[in-house]
Amino acid sequence: MSAGRYDIVIEQGAGFRLAITWKDSEGKPVNLTGYTAKAQVRASHKASAALLTFTTADASIVLGGAAGTIVLEADHEATEALARGGVWDLKLTPPGKEPVRLLEGRAALKEASTK
């Protein structure tokens, strides 16, 4: 399976929320029970440091089990600290199996005027 393309826009200084549903080839939600997930925004694919990280470990990613939902959230303080956009991707790891890169794309930053 190849990662799907999905570009995101993060507004500096505002909360960020992305909600998606992963569906199989028949249009049925993928059961995410037991999965873990991680997503990162980096300035470039080769950048050593992440600009923003989301994980199921810290609940910035919430998986909806049998419903197949995936919700990524960052608060305004996390987005306020961003100085630039870049690229991002989302990996999901099923129990006892290899990770799957579900999505990838550009991460644009809309800079705030109000500080």
Query: Which two structure tokens, joined as six digits, stand for 51?
Result: 């600009």
Q: Match domain 4-110 to its CATH number in 2.60.40.10, 2.60.40.2310, 3.40.980.10, 3.40.470.10.
A: 2.60.40.10
pLDDT for the residue 61: 98
User: How far apart (Å, rounded) are the C-alpha atoms in residues 87 and 113?
Assistant: 23
Give the start-to-end residue ranges of the domains of the chain.
4-110
- H helices of the chain, in order, are 76-80
What pLDDT does residue 114 have? 82
pTM (2 d.p.): 0.93
> Is beta strand 100-110 parallel, antiparallel or unpaired with respect to 4-5?
parallel
Rounded Cα–Cα distance for residues 88 and 72 (Å)? 12
Residue numbers of the chain with a pLDDT score lower than 70? none
Enumerate the β-bridge partners of residue 20.
Answer: 70
Q: What is the pLDDT of residue 90?
A: 98
